[in-house]
Amino acid sequence: MSQPEQRRIVATAIPGPASTALQEQRSAELAGGLGTTMPVFVERAGGGVVVDVDGNHIIDLASGIAVTSVGAAHPEVVRRITEQAERFTHTCFLVTQYEGFVEVAAALNRLTPGDHAKKTALFTTGSEAVENAVKIARAATGRPAVVVLGHAYHGRTLLTMSMTGKNVPYKDGFGPFAPEVYRVPSPYPFRWPSGPEHAAEEALAALRETVLTQIGAHNVAAIVAEPIQGEGGFIVPPAGYLKAVQELATEHGIVFVADEIQTGFGRTGAMFACEHDGVVPDLVTTAKALAGGMPLAAVTGRAELMDSVAPGGLGGTYAGNPVACAAALGTLEVIERDGLVERAREIEARVRPRLEALQGAGSPVGEVRGRGAMLALELVRPGTTEPAPDIARAIAAHCHREGVLTLVCGTFGNVIRLLPPLVIPMDLLDEAVTVLESAVAAAR
């Protein structure tokens, strides 16, 4: 089946009548806790476009939250999924094995930062990968504590929800939380009280105090950090911060875990975002863009750490499902063969100047930040740093009405984030940014 026409078409009001009818049924049948960004129902998707059941062609600046970097129906991924599904859909790798699992592990061992000996374990969701990275770090060190950052997002399971920094909606009413999770300030330059130039140094001082004094380094199994914080607001750490965190971890035998679930596989203009900071993590968690839309996640890291768990201690019924592994092998081939890491840099070069032009006197755009094809606008009351979530919502709603799918994120709900598929046609991307510009102008 060919890709949907790569063109924005606003055929009806968005959501249109067919989506609206389905929405009524959805509301009756589904648990209220399942939110949605844009209440349309999708008929097909691919490249840079999502087509809804009313025939609207919506420009995709979300990629299903950083998943479909190669598009939602890349022919190479579809071919491999089909071929694998015809042979077998499941055996459970813990019962009988298949080559695809080993091939994905080998690819991750090759692609993740560092040339040390590495091993990989596959899982199904990002949360599961983070949980398992902590299990591995605890088994390897014999220590209990996990240190995480403010504004972090690591998932929705008990441990990863406990590691997440935002209460509403992720944690509210869901306690008690997992013990031995300690939080240190994230060096969020735009909001650092004494100014961005002090963020790295002061955040590191707080980290040292927490690790060395409050917990005791000999009790700390892992420090877990997103190299660019995703759900928290696309927060890029100041230069030198991650490197210093890694050095502190190494000095005290603490496992440094980079959560690259949102940033991985070229999204930021490097295969992994850690590379921008010259950091080689002990363990890397991946998911999302790994398998072109199929559920697959991984922990990859130092062989001696990965081997510290006894046989049977890791795994899961669906972990490393063969169809998902086939999809991953197709996805990774496309990312490397088609130069999608460079494409992310081209996207940044094209989009960032236009986003930066939206700043200035009287503008609600307080900051433009991010890397590669992971870019964001933080919305504030003009002339202040006071968060403006209402303006962010109004901009997103304007884009949605005009057939452009944008997402809101950030601890204060005031960040518009752009996560286009890395394969999006440039003219479509330009058009989406034009719509975004008019949405910002309308919100002033």
Ligand X SMILES: Cc1ncc(COP(=O)(O)O)c(C=O)c1O
For position 287 contacting ligand X by CB under 6 A, the verdict is: yes
Nearer to ligand X, 127 or 162 (CB): 127
For position 127 contacting ligand X by CB under 6 A, the verdict is: yes
- Asked if 77 and 338 count as a contact pair (C-beta separation under 8 A), the reply is no
For position 259 contacting ligand X by CB under 6 A, the verdict is: yes
Nearer to ligand X, 158 or 217 (CB): 158
- Asked if 107 and 333 count as a contact pair (C-beta separation under 8 A), the reply is no
In angstroms, what is the minimal distance from the CB of 230 to ligand X?
4
Nearer to ligand X, 19 or 300 (CB): 300
In angstroms, what is the minimal distance from the CB of 178 to ligand X?
15
Nearer to ligand X, 289 or 391 (CB): 289
Nearer to ligand X, 124 or 246 (CB): 124
For position 255 contacting ligand X by CB under 6 A, the verdict is: no
Nearer to ligand X, 50 or 130 (CB): 130
Buried b (16+ CB within 10 A) or exposed e, 67-82: bbbbbbbbebbbebbe
Token digits of residue 225: 């950090």
- With CB under 6 A as the rule, give the number of residues binding ligand X: 15
By three-state DSSP, how is residue 62 classified?
Answer: coil
Among 54, 60, 131, 231, binds ligand X (CB under 6 A): 231
Among 19, 56, 84, 125, binds ligand X (CB under 6 A): 125
- Asked if 441 and 364 count as a contact pair (C-beta separation under 8 A), the reply is no
- CA-nearest of 288, 295, 251, 253 to 272 is 288
In angstroms, what is the minimal distance from the CB of 418 to ligand X?
15
Return d(Cα 388, Cα 390) in angstroms, integer. 5
Token digits of residue 60: 């995709």
Selected range binding ligand X among 119-127, 238-246, 357-365, 420-428, rule: CB under 6 A: 119-127
- Phi, psi dihedral angles at 295 (to 5 degrees): -75, 110
For position 230 contacting ligand X by CB under 6 A, the verdict is: yes
In angstroms, what is the minimal distance from the CB of 66 to ligand X?
7
From edge to edge, which strands make up the β-sheet containing 283-286? Answer: 118-123, 297-302, 283-286, 255-259, 220-225, 145-149, 181-184
Q: From residue 145 to residue 184, what is the string marking binding to ligand X with x (rule CB under 6 A)? A: --------xxx-----------------------------
Q: Which residue number has the CB closest to ligand X?
A: 126
For position 378 contacting ligand X by CB under 6 A, the verdict is: no
For position 261 contacting ligand X by CB under 6 A, the verdict is: yes
In angstroms, what is the minimal distance from the CB of 285 to ligand X?
7
Selected range binding ligand X among 17-25, 180-188, 223-231, 383-391, rule: CB under 6 A: 223-231
- CA-nearest of 323, 318, 319, 299 to 309 is 299
- CA-nearest of 88, 110, 138, 431 to 308 is 138
Return d(Cα 393, Cα 432) in angstroms, integer. 17
- CA-nearest of 156, 112, 420 to 290 is 112
Nearer to ligand X, 152 or 365 (CB): 152
Give strand ranges (E) for 84-226.
118-123, 145-149, 181-184, 220-225
Return d(Cα 27, Cα 51) in angstroms, integer. 22
In angstroms, what is the minimal distance from the CB of 153 to ligand X?
5
In angstroms, what is the minimal distance from the CB of 417 to ligand X?
11
For position 236 contacting ligand X by CB under 6 A, the verdict is: no
For position 223 contacting ligand X by CB under 6 A, the verdict is: no
In angstroms, what is the minimal distance from the CB of 258 to ligand X?
10
For position 191 contacting ligand X by CB under 6 A, the verdict is: no
- Asked if 285 and 146 count as a contact pair (C-beta separation under 8 A), the reply is no
HSE of 102, CA atoms in CB hemisphere, 13 A: 5
For position 262 contacting ligand X by CB under 6 A, the verdict is: yes
Nearer to ligand X, 398 or 417 (CB): 417
Nearer to ligand X, 49 or 228 (CB): 228
Nearer to ligand X, 226 or 282 (CB): 226
Q: Roughly how many angstroms between the first and final C-alpha of the chain, as a whole number?
A: 43
Buried b (16+ CB within 10 A) or exposed e, 108-126: bbebbbbeeebbbbbbbbb
For position 131 contacting ligand X by CB under 6 A, the verdict is: no
Q: Which residues bind ligand X (CB under 6 A)?
A: 65, 125-127, 130, 153-155, 226, 230-231, 259, 261-262, 287
